[in-house]
Amino acid sequence: MRDDDHTDGPDADKGAAPGEGLDGASFDLSLLLPFQITQLSARLAAQARAILARHGELSLPQWRIIRVVAVGLSNRSTAIRKSAGIDKSQFSRTVNAMVDSGYVTLAPCSEDQRQFEIHLTDKAIAAHARLAPELAARQRHLLNALTPDQREMIFPAIHALARAAETIDFLDNLPDPKD
């Protein structure tokens, strides 16, 4: 919500005032870690899309799929989807569009019939060759924005937060609101 999206006066909602929680406590939205991470993610995605747009028609999910396969992480659908951070329905739509556009071909997975293998075409290999240097320069640019100490701690911190985001066990220790 933007700062100007609230209404003052008698027609205003009976909720909290801007900058005030429903419990009356003051808070700064910018201090909430998930909010900050979401904002950063949006900025990074926009930056990546701007780089991709300089070279044609690839979407960010399409690039991520090409990149995962091109660097040899996997050519199996489930591993690619998880590595690229794409949900199942978007992954399916994206892969189908890539087949239609001539970027990939699909083959059954001999070891797991629930999966399929994705193979890059010459078109995808050429796109990777064009884009990889610019996105590698972007990676260097982002890392150079950090001090050496920040660079040393950022990946362990990201991994620790990712693990913490996989559980809600911390809720077991909260007092029961009925008490």
Residue from 20, 29, 22, 32 nearest 1 by CA: 29
Query: For a pLDDT cut of 70, what percent of the chain falls above it?
Result: 83
User: 25 or 125, which is more confident?
Assistant: 125
| Burial category of 101 from C-beta neighbours within 10 Å (exposed 0-12, middle 13-18, buried 19 and up) | middle
- 174 falls in which pLDDT band (50, 70, 90)? confident
Half-sphere exposure of 127 (CA within 13 A, CB side): 28
Average pLDDT rounded to a whole number, residues 55-65: 94
Return the bridge partners of 160, or none.
none
More confident of the two residues 14 and 27: 27
pTM of the model: 0.76
| Phi, psi torsion values for 43, nearest 5 degrees | -65, -40
Tell which CATH architecture fits domain 50-164.
Orthogonal Bundle (1.10)
Tokens of 154: 């950022």
The pLDDT tens digits for 92-116 are: 999 999 999 999 999 999 888 899 9
Give the CA radius of gyration of the chain: 22
Report d(CA 129, CA 22) in Å as an integer: 52
